[in-house]
Amino acid sequence: MRTIAGLMLLPVCVAVAWAEAPAPLPVKLFEQRTEGERSPLANVRVLIGSRFATTDSAGVALFEGIPAGSYRLSVEQPDYQRLVQQIQLPEGARQALDLTLTPAATAQWSGRVESVGAGVPVAGVSLVLTPLAVASALSGTAHTVSSWDGRFEINDLPVGRYQLHATAPGYLAYSRALDVVASDNSRQAVYEAPQIDGVALDLCREWGQNCGKPAADLFCRRQGFLEAGDLRVEKDTPPTRIITSNALCESGGCDRISWINCVGDLQQQVLQLQPESTRVAQSLEVVDRVTGRAIAGARVTLAENWPNGVIAEAVSDSAGRLRFPALQIGDANPLDGAGRVQISRRRVTARVEATNYE
């Protein structure tokens, strides 16, 4: 018997479903102006998920091929506040997104650093501002150092909340959160013929450098304003005085600032640093150098460098002994308003005065 193997073919129907391609998504980007009007922003990168597109001259960024779903949209453009929002893209046709960027406000952060107790300026203090909550797209750590008079200044700092950390040799570290806010420019004052010590204000902040607005800004800050909104200049009108050095310019080419409109409220920070110190006690005995006998009633004055920087005074008892129970020693020893020091170095001068002794 022969076995015949056969192949049976069955018809198969295959259904193919064609998925509709995601519709394009136009994103319109505008700038919010102070007058309430909006204008399109060109050459700005818009990010949706991991995809990005750049706005054209009409302020439109076109995204194509993005599947339906939820995405994070963000725009981070220098000089504007950061824009972040969650969007839901549907299937099929998509309406254009209309977005508005708000210009980032900036402020001048300035002030001075003082020593606690003495109230004297502290130079060379490192001041670091770390952003905590800053809306500006362009923000980061800011750093400055206090000058010889304890003053510091950071210009064009984005407004918001920062963590301040201040350090200086001989002082305890200082740290706190603070808010940098925009100045109130409604405060204004006009200065006709501004002068420095009775002489016309020179056009330059330093000799031959930083001329015009920098010199006018510094003049306004000394009057308690933020900056100079406008100024006028008279050329070749000596004598004038340089605002930073107080030097006189008496040559024929000296230019003066003849009129300034100062604007804004200068927000001066006063930071007080605590000197780092250790409490010690010191006992002394006053005796006659020839006989070795104790001297009672001798007055002993400790000073950094007599007669400057007096630290403490005491009088010897009947046994010639005296004690300074609460001296403070440390690296920072500023003079207070009375010419005394609250904190001294380890090595000091002792002045001894006694009746019938030279």
Question: What are the pLDDT digits (tens) for 16-44?
Answer: 445 567 899 999 999 987 667 889 999 99
98-138 per-position pLDDT tens digit: 999 999 988 888 899 999 888 889 999 999 999 999 999 98
Q: What is the dihedral of CA 191, 197, 203, 209, to 10 degrees?
A: -140
Rounded Cα distance, 25 and 88, in Å: 12
Question: What mean pLDDT is predicted for residues 64-82?
Answer: 94
pLDDT given at position 71 = 96
205, pLDDT greater than 50: yes
For residue 307, cis peptide bond before it (omega within 30 degrees of 0): yes
pLDDT tens-digit readout, 175-190: 999 999 887 777 899 9
202's CB contacts (< 8 A; 6+ apart) are 196, 215, 240, 241, 242, 243, 249, 254, 255, 256, 257
Mean predicted lDDT score pLDDT of the chain = 89
The answer to whether residue 322 scores a pLDDT higher than 60 is yes
In the chain, the percentage of residues whose pLDDT exceeds 90 is 68
**Proportion of the chain above pLDDT 70, given as a percent:** 94
**Mean pLDDT, to the nearest integer, of 3-21?**
49
Q: Look up the pTM and report it.
A: 0.67
The span from the CA of 213 to the CA of 129, in Å, is: 27
Least confident span in 158-162, 181-185, 196-200, 351-355: 181-185
pLDDT over 90 at 1, yes or no: no
> For position 19, what pLDDT does the model report?
53
DSSP 125-186: -EEEEEEEE--BSS---EEEE--TTSEEEEEEEEPEEEEEEEE-TTB--EEEEEEE----TT
User: What's the pLDDT at 11?
Assistant: 53
**What is the residue-wise DSSP string for 86-123?**
EEEEPSS--PPEEEEEPBPPEEEEEEEEEETTT--B--
Place of tokens 């905590």: 132
Residues 6 or more apart whose Cβ sits within 8 Å of residue 252: 236, 238
For 210-233, the pLDDT digits (tens) are 999 999 999 998 888 888 999 999
74: pLDDT confidence band, cut at 50, 70 and 90?
very high
